[in-house]
Chains A and B, each alone.
Chain A
């Protein structure tokens, strides 16, 4: 049990194993409750959005004119749409890299013998718990021109790096990324902490007797064993990045000048500020396609490996 498979990875691709699979009891009844609950509720919403997306709809009692795929065409030719996707990609890569690395590091450190481990766990966990709406004014204070970050930079000889983080189109996206990393490491930590518990201590003990160092064990033993969790987190990150709304909205409103705009804030702006509900629904359907497409592609790649 060294490698944990990705969700979509079946180890039984080869024939002899498939026959063994046939011996397994049927499982459809077991997934039915979950399937009915989520698919039953949310697919109605997806269908509803799909209908709106081919209409002009400004929020009245009646749908407006049917416009075919016009809303989709407008979206796909709109630089704001592609800008939002670009931000999403940068965000996904940056957040995933830091979140997963730090999640593994913290989980490994806290699986070691540490004094006051609970204190550390609570500190890492707190950011996950506190709602973004509450935390955002605090983060705005932290990144303010007179805030602690610039203070630290100015007092550590890095004053040339101090800048109005929230007021510049060049830095606003990085503020959003930083805050998201801050609030999501704890989440990765919980999952890695749980899945590291699956590693057989005797394997680690054996490696240690062979003279492997701590870092070596982490790299060659621990990281591969939690690969399944890593892939699950990446898939979740694809989806959260694509529909990201809370932090960019609360910290920067996607600005200045759309520099930290995401599909989630774009959809919100079209649906709420501009009441283009048909267009907003088309964006939501595009988001759905993009999220599922990327996630399936990712898990197929994981299967190939």
Chain B
């Protein structure tokens, strides 16, 4: 975006970036150094020794994967519909969906429990996946619709003139062109599904169904609070999210360089 001609300008750019990043680093540094206090690396070993740790990660990954698949599919379709297709009273539909974003979790708990228990989904992963997806969809639709609005209509019309049906237009024009936003959607849903706490806590009783956000419980309780291991656990838990972000990011930049958006 910014072009830097000459060494000086390039150095200045980096200096500005480094200064701006300092406020981010202070709490992160406090956290990382905190995770090594007390028993040092032992904190990490203690986290890795939590029984059934692999299950925690497997279950969280599973919940995140299914949620992402669902949210990605319905979001792309809805963004396409809202932005590029003909819908009567589209704004009414749109804002009805947005309303679903507003209830606080503590208010949702009771009705969701009623619902899960009455359709027999209690203590299954669906009891967690469906509400998380339902809560994410309005959010991702809002973002993706904005993005798709930015793709020129001409491209879609050109496809139609070439004789492509709606489904083919969706697959061959919208999906490739909205990849950068798809990356953002995947990352956001991953964060929300991976970090969800109250829903898995309440709806999954089976000990084999524990998720990563319940890890701190092993180090934090009524009359003790081992922050050093909580932080070590948090960093280990955050790793998959960071890896996912970094690898998706790379992929997305390659896509841009290939001139996807021309």
Contacts and interface: CB of A to CB of B under 8 A. Distances in A.
A and B touch in the complex (CB under 8 A): yes
Interface in A256-288: 263-264, 267-268, 271-272, 277, 280-281, 284, 287-288
B112 A45 contact: yes
Contact of B30 (A112, A129, A141, A243): A141
B100 interface: yes
Interface string B217-260: 00000000001001100100010011001100100100010000
B91 interface: yes
B24 A272 contact: no
A243 B195 contact: no
Interface stretch (B41-49, B56-64, B74-82, B202-210): B74-82
A284 B107 contact: yes
A228 interface: yes
A7, A8, A291, A295 interface centre (most CB from chain B within 10 Å): A7
Contacts of B3: 112, 208, 214
A4 B106 contact: no
Interface stretch (A66-74, A86-94, A114-122, A162-170): A114-122
Interface string A96-136: 00000010011111111111001011111111111101110
Given A112-B4, A122-B242, A134 B82 contact: no
A80 interface: no
B27 A288 contact: no
Interface residues of B, number: 102
Given A35-B93, A208-B3, A264 B20 contact: no
Contacts, number: 307
A295 B98 contact: yes
B78, B105, B146, B238 interface centre (most CB from chain A within 10 Å): B146
A26 B87 contact: yes
A131 B238 CA distance: 9
B261 interface: yes
A287 B104 contact: yes
Contact of B102 (A118, A124, A200, A287): A287
B31 A138 contact: yes
A64 interface: no
Contact of B146 (A38, A214, A228): A228
Interface in B86-117: 86-88, 90-91, 93-108, 110-112, 114-115
A271 B109 CA distance: 11
A160 interface: no
Interface in A178-219: 182, 185, 187, 190-191, 193-198, 200, 204, 208, 214, 217-218
Contacts of A24: 84-86
A252 interface: no
Nearest to A271: B106
B242 A126 contact: yes
A129 B191 contact: yes
A39 to B, nearest CB: 6
A288 B114 CA distance: 21
A242 to B, nearest CB: 7
Given A26-B87, A194-B180, A287-B102, A228 B150 contact: yes
A133 B197 contact: yes
Interface in A5-60: 5-9, 21-22, 24-31, 33-35, 37-46, 48-49
A6 B146 contact: yes
Contacts of B146: 4-7, 195, 228-229, 231-232
13 contacts: A4-B147, A28-B87, A28-B88, A34-B78, A45-B107, A49-B111, A112-B1, A126-B238, A130-B238, A138-B30, A138-B31, A284-B104, A288-B103
Interface of B: 1-4, 10, 13-14, 16-17, 20-21, 23-28, 30-31, 34, 70, 73-75, 77-78, 80-82, 84-88, 90-91, 93-108, 110-112, 114-115, 130-131, 133-135, 137-139, 141-143, 145-147, 149-152, 166, 170, 180-181, 183-184, 187-188, 191, 195, 197, 213, 216, 227, 230-231, 234, 238, 241-242, 245-246, 249, 252, 256, 261-262
